[in-house]
Structure 1
Amino acid sequence: MGATIEDRLSKKVTHIFAMNSKDLLQQVDSEHLKRFKGNVLLYQWLEDSLRSGEKVAEDSYNLNLDSEEGNDPEKSLEGICSKPTKENNYSDEKLPHCKRIRFLSDDLKVVNEQDSSTSPVSSNPHAPVASNKDVNTSELALCYNPPDLNRNITEIFGKLIDIYRALGDERRSFSYYKAIPVIEKLPFKIESVEQVKHLPAIGKSLQDHIHEIITTGKLSKLEHFETDEKAQRLTITVIISDMVRTITLFGDVWGIGPATALKLYEKGYRTLDDLKNEESLTNAQKLGLKYFDDIKKRIPRNEVQDMELILQKAGEDVLPGVVIICGGSFRRGKATCGDLDIIITHPDGKSHKGFLPKYVKHLKDMRFLREDLVFSTHSEEGTNSGVDTYFGLCTYPGREQRHRIDLKVYPRDISAFGLIAWTGNDVLNRRLRLLAESKGYRLDDTGLFLRSTKGSPRLTLKTEMEVFDFLGFPWLEPHERNL
């Protein structure tokens, strides 16, 4: 799917991409578009093609330029994005919404033609490539928010993910997991299975499921799992709903995975109280069980903010200049949080080594940290990318209720990757990983690496914005990452 990006409409251009017809018509004269012989597509086509590794069929992505139909949410991404405010208006020079692309080959590459001869990537595969920073991020953040016009399908698939995950069937669980983001971003409501046959991650089995859902409003497979009366009539190989509910419950205990949950069910356990005398549980699992109700409760934002200040003050006591940030849903601006995700580094790039053990001891002396779940240090040995990790339980001052807390200490040169990963959300992290893979890289919380070379050095990217720029993903402020 090789292509070059053209800055202006010319005879060489074969495709024009835009978020919606309104923004396209602001950038390209309508008379020029009428004479254009190529295809005008929704920008979503590019993302879906990158995900599938090949060019997907274009029929469902045609952008209708008719003044009335062009604003139909089911025929344009106009329905996905909020209308621009005055602050969201663009000058012609910024052109964030439309790309005019000329396809050259079937290779999965997109390059800027005017920079192709001097591109840092072509001469140095580890050098970051800057992209346009003049994009107004507020509107783009909204544009990347899935419309999910097919919630009737994605909700059922979501339940099947939980069921198969609880049963330890990761293959089936993952097939639904891959399909959901493809379906939830469609700019139209699925009314026929023919509309999804070309989509990546939607095989014959899932097409049959979708056909049943849109014609009957339900899925018999899910009903077999959820209905006791029906489940009792199934063969012994089909798990009844009681088993599904129990394994799901056990899997909610911190430290207990699907395989362990299934073994506990097979031993005859049915409730959390039943598990209290199970000798095979690890100390961390026993703590997860003991404080199950505490851990499940959401934490108000103001309390998380108080605890972040406590952590920052304690960090300064141990190591002046240390940087401590609460990530997760708190950094994304949510009103409540499930736990505390704390990212730690130091600007000098070396003082972080050996910091975590001293920090944990200080927090325990303050009776802020109460119980340990996981504690591993690598910074002084240089193993595991030099990242130190602590998972445990903490308390809000004056209260005994336990809250989950994760402390991750990163070397300064890779802290941006940790900050992105631990801020989330899951949808954004998944998209960034897929985008990296499409460009031949592997992305995780410790860096960006070439996939083709085992043990390849990570790219030098010092800030979150540099990572977004290199991947070609529009910059999103933390509060805009609730995709």
Structure 2
Amino acid sequence: MNSEGRSRKRSASSMTLSFPIIYLLSANLGSKELQDLEEQIPTLTYDINEAEVILGKVFRKERVLFELRKLKLATEEVDPLERAASPSQARKRAKLLTPALASSDIDSDTASEAEVQRRLVGPTPTEPTVKVVKLPWFTESLKAGELLPMDDYVIYEGRKAPKTPVKAPQPPPTEKAADIMKRALADASGSPRSSRPRSSQGRRGEAYVSHPVRPALLRQTTSEHEIDTQLPPIPDYLHTTYSCQRPTPVHPPNEAFIEELTKIRRARTLTGDKIGVRAYSSAIATIAAYPYTFRTAQEVARLPGCGSKIALLFQEFKDTGQIQEARQDESDPRLATLQLFYDIWGVAETTARDFYNRGWRDLDDVVEYGWDALTRVQQIGVKYYDEFQLKIPRAEVERIASTVLAHANKVAKGGAGFEMVIVGGYRRGKRESGDVDVVLSHRDEAATLGFVEALVVSLERAGYVTHTLSLATTNSERGQVPVAWKGDAKKAGAGFDTLDKALVVWQDPAWTTGEARNPNPHRRVDIIISPWKTAGCAVLGWTSGTTFQRDLRRFCKKERRLKFDSSGVRSRVDGSWVDLESGPDGKPAPDMLTAERRVFAGLGLEWRPPEERCTG
């Protein structure tokens, strides 16, 4: 049987089932798989607003919300308890759970009847909803020859937000989309499908003839088209999705455009859009590695991780010198407040949103209403908020690092032997740093055992360390033996690394002015202690940009079946430590930077100097 015959057979079998109106998400589907599924779905619509069910190869609610937002379908999530209840039970539960509102709380002149109902007793179960369902529900229903219950396949169910009424004269009523589809199915039941793209009739009579919904077209002048025919070839290293395989300079040619994208990514971070943050991070890392200045939007669209969305943003940036979304984010008072809270040391984006939801709008509110509920670290972050926002010049970074090393060798047994590398943004070439990160190691493994505590005590006594925010001795507690990888399950000690470290507040105790109090600003300093056998991993992990580190871990997992973190490399096959830093003769690396190079070589990665790991 040829492919056309098989397609007819599949279509005929699916027509015997009364599927709801289905919209098919294209995410994670190849072109062939997408085409095959479109042929099999008898009630397929290309207008997501018509859909009763959205079918997709997606598995997480966060990704679903991202896709719905991208397709401009506004929904309000249905409470799982309400979804499981009968309509009468749901209505009763809404009345019981929703506090009654006084009539004065509702503006009857502006609120519609439906809005008043929703605000008094909650949304009614009769409002149209759409379910986002895993793809196996459809394929397994076909195999079973009957519609399977959706409950085990539903990822998300939401009420479609009511559309703003159109005040212009309306056309005469037309047939409902469901009636049109059912009639079309009846007409087509005895005839073969056309190989041409399918179309469905929308509520207003528009024809939808392609899927997925096409993004806005990139307009292009004749001169721009001529430029596109002469674009330089995409460098080989940009054909990979791993930013750890690319050179990424601290000041790339398209730095101004990247700054605009970074502002949008920051807003996505503050609002908890993890999918959006990851997408923008990938695009930014790709653009930062592109060695030429963009001239056209098509030049952007061809790059991996960018596509039409980023290309359209570049077109806007090229035409106006800015991106409207970034400007809106900058002027959004809610985002400004979230950023204020997020900048408190010890406060993550989730906590920042919690502060905002409590009604706090500035640091005074945090102090007045929530001081006792803050952790000690957060209280210190509030106390030195303004000072922690000040950037640290390179010369001061070097002075602080030299002081740490001097105290390390003063405290060390024998009075010497510790070596140090300044890591973080300083090593990547930034002119100013937000904090100071240093990695210390010693060729004698006994010297690093439990050493971090003694070093902090020495710095405190000398007046340099005013507060210790965090002190971790996990590595020493297990005898500085690399942790065997035990699978993806969360466990104690899992995270960025398991090295001994001290995160401290630093202030230079010496000043020459006549002021009564020390005028020197408080700084954030991270002191990391690594055994010599894994010092290369520590230097690599603490030097590289965030996306570089993320992709390095992903590369090790996908391509090498290894688990990388700053405390060493482990095998995902048997969990054992993998020594990449010793030489062929088994001897340790002669210095920490050589050890870092050996980690690159052992992972099969081309060496990238720190100045080429600025992925953001």
TM-score interval, normalised by the smaller of the two chains? 0.5 to 0.7
For 1:201, the equivalent position in structure 2 comes to 305
Q: Which runs of 5+ in 1 are unaligned?
A: 1-40, 54-109, 111-140, 228-240
Shift of 1:415: 1.1
Length, aligned pairs only: 342
Cα distance between partner residues in 1 of 2:610 and 2:310: 34
1:395 to 507, 510, 515: 507
Whether the aligned pair in 1 keeps the contact of 2:505 and 2:523 (CA below 8 Å) is: yes
Contact 2:498 2:567 (8 Å CA) reproduced? no
Q: What do residues 380-422 of structure 1 show as CA deviations (whole Å, max 9, x unaligned)?
A: 3326476212111011131543111111111221111111222
Displacement, 1:146? Answer: 7.2
Residue 50 (structure 1) shift: 2.4
User: For the residues of structure 2 that align with 1:302 and 1:187, how far apart are their CA atoms?
Assistant: 30
Question: Contact 2:242–2:552 (CA<8 Å) still a contact in 1?
Answer: no
- Relative contact order, higher structure (CA 8 A, sep 6+): 1
Q: Which residue of 1 aligns with 2:40?
A: none
Residue deviations 1:425-474 (CA, integer Å, cap 9, x gap) = 44654565565456324432122344x53735334324012123234545
The alignment status of 1:373 with 2:472, answered yes or no, reads no
Pick closer, same or farther for the CA change 1:270–1:460 going to 2, 3 Å: same
Distance in 2 (CA, whole Å) between partners of 1:349 and 1:43 is: 49
Matches within 5 A, 1:100-115: none
For 1:151 and 1:226, locate their aligned partners in 2 and report how far apart those are by CA, in whole Å: 19
The aligned counterpart of 1:170 is 274
- State the AA in 2 paired with 1:343: V
Opposite residue 311 of structure 1, the aligned amino acid is V
Larger Rg: 2
Q: Name 2:567's counterpart in structure 1.
A: 446
> Could you tell me whether the CA contact under 8 Å between 2:438 and 2:526 is conserved in 1?
yes
* Aligned: 1:184 with 2:304: no
Determine if the alignment matches structure 1 residue 290 to structure 2 residue 422.
no
- Is the 8 Å Cα contact of residues 270 and 335 (structure 2) preserved in structure 1? yes
Q: For residue 260 of structure 1, report the CA deviation from its aligned partner.
A: 0.9
Counterpart residue number, 2:360: 269
Which amino acid is the alignment partner of residue 469 of structure 1? A
Q: What TM-score comes out, normalization by structure 1 length?
A: 0.62
How far apart are the structure 2 equivalents of 1:403 and 1:350?
A: 30
Asked if residue 359 in structure 1 is aligned to residue 459 in structure 2, the reply is: no
Alignment of 1:302-317 (within 5 A): 302-317=395-410
The alignment status of 1:256 with 2:347, answered yes or no, reads yes
> Does the CA-based 8 Å contact 1:147-1:186 persist in structure 2?
no
List gaps (5 residues or longer) in structure 2.
Answer: 1-230, 484-492, 512-517, 583-594
1:158 and 2:262 matched: yes
1:468 paired with 2:600, answer: yes
Alpha-carbon distance, 1:475 to partner? 3.8
Name the CA distance, whole Å, in 1 between partners of 2:472 and 2:232: 47
Partner of 1:58: none
Q: Distance in 2 between matches of 1:152 and 1:480?
A: 18
Report the AA paired with residue 293 of structure 1: D
AA matched with 2:313: H
Match of 1:423?
Answer: 543
Letter in 2 for 1:342: V
Q: Which amino acid aligns with 1:303?
A: E
Q: CA deviation at 1:344?
A: 1.8
The residue type paired with residue 350 of structure 1 is: A
User: Does 2:433 correspond to 1:340?
Assistant: no
For residue 111 of structure 2, what is the aligned residue in structure 1?
A: none
Q: Letter of the aligned partner of 2:352 in structure 1?
A: A
Residues 466 and 194 from structure 1, CA distance in 2 versus in 1: closer, same or farther, beyond 3 angstroms?
same
What are the within-5 Å matches in structure 2 for residues 44-193 of structure 1? 45-51=235-241, 144-145=248-249, 148-151=252-255, 153-193=257-297
Return closer, same or farther for 1:416/1:290 CA change in 2, 3 Å cut-off.
same
Distance 1:145 1:332 in 2: 9
Deviations along 1:21-52, one digit per CA (max 9) or x if unpaired, are: xxxxxxxxxxxxxxxxxxxx989643223217
* Counterpart AA for 1:378: T
Q: CA RMSD in A?
A: 3.3
Distance 1:214 1:375, change over 3 A: same
Q: Relative to structure 2, which stretch is displaced further, 300-309 or 472-481?
A: 472-481
Q: Distance in 2 between matches of 1:312 and 1:221?
A: 46
The change in CA–CA distance for 1:147 and 1:270 in structure 2 (over 3 A counts) is closer
Q: Is the 8 A contact 1:339 1:403 kept in 2?
A: yes
Q: Verify the 8 A CA contact 1:146 1:185 in the aligned structure 2.
A: no
Q: Distance in 2 between matches of 1:154 and 1:168?
A: 21
Task: Indicate how the Cα distance of structure 1 residues 338 and 186 shifts in structure 2: closer, same or farther if over 3 A, else same.
Answer: closer
Query: In 2 relative to 1, CA 442–42 (structure 1 residues): closer, same or farther, beyond 3 Å?
Result: farther
Contact 1:303 1:396 (8 Å CA) reproduced: no
Shift of 1:214: 4.2
**Distance in 1 between residues matched to 2:471 and 2:550, nearest whole Å:** 27
Alpha-carbon contact 1:197-1:207 (below 8 Å) kept: yes
Partner residue of 2:49? none
Deviations 1:276-316 (A, max 9, x none): 23132111011011011222222333333333232222212
Structure 2 CA distance, aligned partners of 1:269 and 1:367? 35
Determine if contact 1:324/1:344 at 8 Å carries over to the other structure: yes
Q: 1: distance between equivalents of 2:242 and 2:453?
A: 44
Q: 1:315–1:322: 8 Å Cα contact kept in structure 2?
A: yes
> SS of 2:476's equivalent?
coil
Cα offset, 1:245, TM superposition: 0.7
For the structure 1 residues 181 and 472, does the alpha-carbon distance in structure 2 shift closer, same or farther, using more than 3 Å as the test?
same
Deviation at 1:201, TM superposition (A): 1.8
Deviation sequence 1:108-167 (CA, Å, 0-9, x none):
xx9xxxxxxxxxxxxxxxxxxxxxxxxxxxxxx9x6537744445423211101111112
Q: Contact between 2:504 and 2:526, CA under 8 Å: does it hold in 1?
A: yes
